[in-house]
Every structure is written in structure tokens, then in C-alpha cells.
Amino acid sequence: MADEPRVALVTGASGTIGAAVARELAAAGLRIAAGFHRGGEAARNLAAELPDALAVPLDVTDPAAVRAAFGKVAATMGPVTVLVNAAGLLRDRPLLRMSDDDWAAVLTTNLTGPFWCVRQALPSMIAAGYGRIVSVGSAAAAFGTPGQANYCAAKAGLLAFTRSVARESGRYGVTANVVAPGLVESPLIADIGEAARTGFARRTATGSLVDARDVARAVRFCIETPALTGQSVDVDGGFG
């Protein structure tokens, strides 16, 4: 990491993966802006736990809110040169029961939101001659999951988007990568049932679900490795 602490904005920092990423990057010496839409108390508690951190309201589905959040971080902490897109949304339905809103909400949160955040972050990264963009994808993007056509489409699009950003921005010292977890132990999967959890775990080489801390370590690896860009780092326990 640089001699001067860099500012990392983590969207979805009130969630399991986002919080783990924030803690890992704080341990690496970055100053953390913990972006949240819901879960404000959790984000504020997280910021209080970390050195010199800030909880920032950030609805990634609203471009005006994205601009406001980046402006607040820049005014309070300095320009964002590390961006982690960890905000996400699930609305699982079989395709024939998936509403227009189910489709649009998931695509907006998981794909368009990162676009708005990256577009906002790039000018300060280019000006600094340094930038790291890491987006949280999903193993579902590669395999396709029944009942998740919206989510799989968004996460597959996120990888293609990231590869384009990497090619456009590499000459300016900016890297862009995706970390693609398998099924992560979190409150988000509390309702999927034990049979589904066991079935997913059996399809992995490790025989277990993914720990969010492993996802966070992969994010840190992407940030600390300048030659790594335009890639998907799969953290899925060898799912297949």
C-alpha cells in the first residue's frame, strides 16, 4: 500500500461481505468509507470499530445519491482511489413468475449501480495515477442458477463491464477485477433451507460454504497486485 493512507469506498458495507471487506482493507492500512443504503446502524457501528472510518449513506440505484456520497467522502476524507462494489440484491423467482420490477431492481442494483459508482470514481483515480476497482460477482454468473435469471444476468454483465473498464483504464494506473464468491455464510441465505445448503456444499471441492473473510482476502489481493486486472477471482470452494 502507499505511504499515505488511501481512501477506500465500500458499497454495501452493512452486509456480511461488505463488512468483511471493510475490516480487511482497514487492516491493510486503508481509510474506509462504509457505504450503506439499509442497515445504517450496522454501518455506523462498523465505522466506529475501524480507525478513522466514515459511514456514508449510499443508494447505488440512484445516480444523484452516488454523486452525493462520493462528494461527501472527498470533502471529509479525500478522493476515493479504491472502490469495492459489494452492494447487492436478490429477488429469486422462476422466470415465468419474475416481474418486471424483480428484473429491473436486481439489474439496477447489481450492474447499473456499479457502473454509476465506477464512472464517479474514475476521474479521481486517473488524476492520482492510481486506482483499484473490485466488484463482488458470483459463481452464479458462470453456471446459471434456476430461479436467478435476473441475478445471473447482472453478475455476468458485471464481469464483462469490468473487463472493459480494465482495458480502458489500465494506462492510467487503474485496475479493475471481479471477485466471484460461491454461496457465502450470511443472514441472506437463512431462508434457503438445510437441504439446499447441504446440496450446494456437496458440489464444492471443499465440502463447505464460503467464509466472507476469504472473499475479503481475495479483494485485498486484487488491490495489492498491480498486474492483476480484467480478471475474475473465483472464491467458491471449487464449485462445479
Q: Which residues are known to be catalytic? A: 151
User: What residues form DSSP beta bridges with 131?
Assistant: 174
- Cα–Cα distances (Å) from 202 to 16, 37, 208, 209, in that order, read 23, 34, 7, 9
**Residue (of 155, 167, 28, 147) closest to 94 by Cα position:** 147
Closest CA to 1 of 230, 162, 220, 232: 220
φ, ψ for residue 235, nearest 5 deg: -120, 75
Report the distance separating Cα 194 and Cα 199, nearest Å: 8
How far is 129 from 175, CA to CA, in rounded Å? 11
SS3 call for 210:
strand
